[in-house]
Structures are given as C-alpha cells and as structure tokens.
C-alpha cells in the first residue's frame, strides 16, 4: 500500500489539541463525545502525532483569537522543534479568528511570509 504525505502544512488559527486545559470543553465534546478515552484524546491531538517524518509546517495565528487559543499553534510549533521538523510560527497581534488571506488589522502580509518560507525550504517546486 502506498502512503502519500503532503509536502508541507500551512495551518491558520488551527485547533491542534484536545488535551485538558487547552481544548474548549464544548468543542471537545462536540467532536469526540462526552467521555473520550485518554487514547482517543492522544490520537486526535496533532501535537502528539508529530514525528521526524511530519511535513514542514507554517502556522499563523492572531494573538487576540478568542475562538481558538494561540496555545494550539504554540504546542504544535514546540512539537515540531522537538522532532527536528522545519517550522515557522507567525503571530499577528490582531485579527481574531478567521482573518483569512488578508488580515485587515495589519500591513504585515502573512501570505508573503508563507511564500518566503516555502521558497526558503524549496517547497514551491515540489
């Protein structure tokens, strides 16, 4: 059986973890049920699945996101670092949740940062 993996990950304000203290209880219940087992929580917490084979990752998150805590991006970033996965984390000071391709609260263009990161890692031509 052939398994394919993406060349890279571009994650915007991602829900990464269902761990206690990080996931919103309502979100976790809606996605994993009333009483998920510890094994189930681990299986669906992406930061726990990072290995040296995880594709390079780019993350962007607004610090004022009241829907998904910036901690989700931080724990994934740290997991990538621990496993030697190329990773960049870009925080926007404002923009909330769902700022999309153009964050109107800043002149800083995260899509340009993504293009530069892809180019630096030779990921544009794969």
In a domain? residue 44: no
pLDDT in tens, 76-111: 999 999 999 999 999 999 999 999 999 999 888 999
From residue 38, how far is each of 15, 17, 49, 60, 95 by CA, in Å? 18, 12, 14, 28, 33
Domain that holds residue 63: 9-16+52-120
In a domain? residue 40: no
* 2, pLDDT greater than 90: no
Mean per-residue pLDDT for 19-47?
88
Q: What is the pLDDT of residue 1?
A: 59
Q: In sequence order, what are the beta bridge partners of 11?
A: 59
Task: Kindly report the pTM of this predicted structure.
Answer: 0.91
Cβ-based neighbours of 2, under 8 Å, separated by 6 or more: none
In a domain? residue 92: yes
The total number of structural domains in the chain stands at: 1
Query: What percent of the chain lies above the pLDDT cut of 90?
Result: 71
In a domain? residue 37: no
Q: What is the CATH number of the domain that holds 114?
A: 3.40.50.1820
């Amino acid at each position: 059986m052939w398994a394919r993996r993406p060349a890279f990950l571009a994650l915007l304000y991602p829900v990464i973890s269902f761990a206690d203290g990080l996931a919103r209880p309502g979100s976790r219940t809606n996605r994993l049920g009333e009483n998920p087992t510890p094994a189930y929580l681990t299986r669906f917490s992406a930061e726990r699945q990072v290995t040296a084979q995880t594709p390079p990752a780019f993350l962007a998150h607004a610090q004022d996101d009241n829907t998904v805590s910036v901690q989700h991006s931080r724990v994934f970033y740290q997991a990538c670092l621990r496993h030697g996965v190329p990773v960049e984390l870009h925080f926007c000071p404002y923009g909330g949740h769902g700022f999309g391709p153009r964050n109107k609260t800043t002149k800083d263009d995260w899509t340009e940062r993504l293009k530069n990161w892809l180019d630096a890692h030779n990921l544009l031509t794969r």
